[in-house]
């Protein structure tokens, strides 16, 4: 039999089965011992009865005037007679018998001692040099009935107390494993990016080394990831100044040189340096998304941030390239405005970079916190769509993106407890690409005041 996988069920079933087997075994052994003891008691009573009745029978028979006469004792009051007897002489003639004795069930005399037939247990005794003999009979059915009653007496408590004992075992196992169950639930509810230590208070000594080893492993992983994020952020930060200086020098070279070939090479170098600058900015944003604090102790309206960022980007690409829809009521959230700006700018820049130039990027921020950015363009293949949130995965050929924009937004979404949805084609269209996620919202203080 395959035991259930749950440790609680295994312990409960094993202990319950063991207790049941022990109890049944003890009851069976007790029944056997009791049966043997009962047999001895009944045989002793049978022998004692014969030895007490025989002297009385001898006195009665020897005092008779007429020899060889059969006498049946009269019944004083009605009762169940389990022991019957007959008193016979050496020739087998019945001289005296109990009132309910059936002479046909008594076998012929064959000596002193116990005898047994298929229906009765007998004891033979004699006196006066064998001239007076007594045989006492007891039905085996009587002994069987008594033995059955004893077995029932042993079995009924088993049927009553065994379920109670099993419930007690289940309760005790459940209470004993409660710390382990809390430990399991804590692990099950943790996010994939949560590397904080798992509390192991109250765990049994057999399991606590597992928790200690797990916490040690989580600590090492957290330290390794923190070192990686710190290195990426520091490297990106340190590159900003030299890159800016290099770009300035290249731009100066472009203005001072008169050679077309040198100016073309300088332009290529400037393009490469600007791409490297954008990559360093994305690396710093990724480090912030994966390790920084994303939510604040205060709330603020997200609409002004979205409006300012849209105007800033429109000045670069043109006001007709971006359309923004905002709700009339405030969108209060504890999300850090800088983090919201990182998400917002990356999504719009990704849409403008990969979308059709002649069609504007539609940005919608609904009153329930749903941020949707949609752009026209070719349909993204299904196998590529699922990989766009991975690092350094580009959505198209010939694009100059860093491949980190959607990875940054996805990291933020996971850490604030939401999901980044990618869809291609757009909702209600046959072309394009759409990104959406729900931002965390808080109740506006003005709403509570008006209520």
The DSSP secondary structure of 312-356, one letter per residue, reads: HHHHHH-GGGEEEE--SS--EEEE-HHHHHHHHHHHHHHHHHHS-
CATH topology of domain 294-450: Heat Shock Protein 90 (3.30.565)
pTM assigned to the model = 0.52
* Nearest-5° Cα angle at 238, 234 to 242: 165
Domain boundaries, the chain: 7-167, 189-292, 294-450
Check residue 229 and give its pLDDT. Answer: 64
What are the start-end ranges of the H helices in 63-139?
Answer: none
Task: Give the C-alpha distances (Å, rounded to integers) separating 37 from 49, 152, 158, 240.
Answer: 18, 17, 22, 100
The closest alpha carbon to 285, from 244, 341, 323, 208, belongs to 341
If you search the block for the tokens 């996620």, which residue do you land on? 437
Element (DSSP H or E) covering residue 48: helix 7-62
pLDDT under 50 in the chain at which residues?
A: 448-451
Check residue 449 and give its pLDDT. Answer: 47
What is the token pair recorded at 340? 């919201």
Check residue 193 and give its pLDDT. Answer: 61
- Phi-psi region at 392: left, alpha or beta (left = phi > 0; alpha = psi -120 to 50): left
Helix (H, G, I), strand (E, B) or coil at 102: coil
Distance between CA atoms of residues 27 and 155, nearest Å: 7
Check residue 303 and give its pLDDT. Answer: 94
Same fold, 189-292 and 294-450: no
Start-to-end C-alpha separation, the chain: 63
Check residue 2 and give its pLDDT. Answer: 57
Distance between CA atoms of residues 338 and 451, nearest Å: 31
The closest alpha carbon to 270, from 242, 293, 307, 243, belongs to 243
Distance between CA atoms of residues 359 and 431, nearest Å: 12
Q: What is the DSSP string of 411-450?
A: HHHHHTT---EEESS-TTSSS-EEEEEEPP----HHHHHH
Cβ distance 363 to 323 under 8 Å?
Answer: yes
CA 74, 77, 81, 83 torsion-angle sign: negative
Check residue 448 and give its pLDDT. Answer: 46
Check residue 183 and give its pLDDT. Answer: 83
Cβ distance 303 to 331 under 8 Å?
Answer: yes
Distance between CA atoms of residues 57 and 125, nearest Å: 12
Check residue 451 and give its pLDDT. Answer: 39
Query: Does the domain spanning 189-292 belong to CATH 2.60.40?
Result: no
């Amino acid at each position: 039999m395959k035991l259930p996988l749950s440790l609680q069920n295994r312990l409960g079933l094993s202990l319950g089965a063991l207790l049941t087997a022990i109890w049944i075994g003890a009851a069976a052994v007790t029944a056997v011992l009791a049966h043997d003891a009962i047999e001895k008691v009944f045989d002793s009573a049978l022998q004692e009865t014969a030895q007490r009745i025989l002297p009385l029978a001898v006195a009665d028979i020897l005092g008779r005037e007429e020899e060889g006469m059969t006498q049946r004792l009269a019944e004083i009051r009605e009762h169940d007679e389990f022991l019957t007897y007959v008193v016979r002489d050496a020739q087998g003639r019945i001289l005296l018998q109990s009132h309910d004795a059936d002479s046909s069930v008594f076998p012929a005399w064959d000596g002193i001692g116990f005898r047994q037939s298929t229906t009765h247990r007998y004891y033979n005794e004699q006196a006066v040099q064998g001239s007076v003999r007594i045989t006492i009979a007891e039905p085996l059915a009587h002994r069987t009935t008594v033995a059955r009653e004893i077995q029932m007496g042993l079995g009924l408590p088993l049927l009553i107390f065994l379920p109670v004992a099993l419930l007690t075992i289940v309760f005790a196992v459940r209470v004993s494993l409660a710390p382990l169950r809390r430990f399991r639930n804590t692990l099950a509810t943790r996010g994939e990016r949560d590397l904080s230590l798992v509390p192991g208070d109250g765990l049994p000594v057999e399991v606590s080394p597992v928790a200690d080893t797990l916490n040690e492993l989580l600590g090492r992983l957290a330290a390794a990831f923190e070192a990686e994020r710190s290195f990426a952020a520091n490297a990106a930060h340190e590159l900003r100044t030299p890159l800016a200086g290099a770009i300035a020098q290249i731009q100066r070279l472009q203005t001072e040189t008169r050679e077309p070939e040198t100016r073309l090479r300088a332009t290529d170098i400037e393009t490469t340096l600007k791409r490297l600058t954008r990559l360093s900015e994305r690396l710093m944003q990724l480090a912030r998304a994966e390790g920084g604090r994303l939510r604040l102790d205060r709330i603020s309206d997200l609409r002004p941030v979205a409006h300012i960022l849209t105007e800033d980007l429109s000045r670069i690409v043109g006001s007709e390239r971006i359309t923004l829809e905002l709700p009339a009521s405030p969108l209060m959230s504890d999300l850090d405005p800088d983090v919201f700006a990182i998400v917002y700018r990356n999504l719009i820049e990704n849409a403008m970079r990969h979308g059709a130039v002649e069609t504007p990027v539609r940005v919608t921020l609904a009153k329930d916190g749903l941020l949707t950015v949609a752009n026209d363009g070719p349909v993204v293949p299904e196998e590529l769509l699922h990989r766009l949130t991975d690092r350094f995965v580009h959505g198209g050929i010939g694009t100059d993106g860093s491949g980190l924009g959607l990875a940054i937004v996805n990291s933020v979404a996971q850490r604030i407890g939401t999901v980044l949805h990618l869809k291609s084609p757009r909702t209600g269209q046959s072309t394009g690409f759409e990104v959406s996620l729900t931002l965390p919202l808080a109740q506006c203080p003005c709403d509570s005041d008006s209520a």
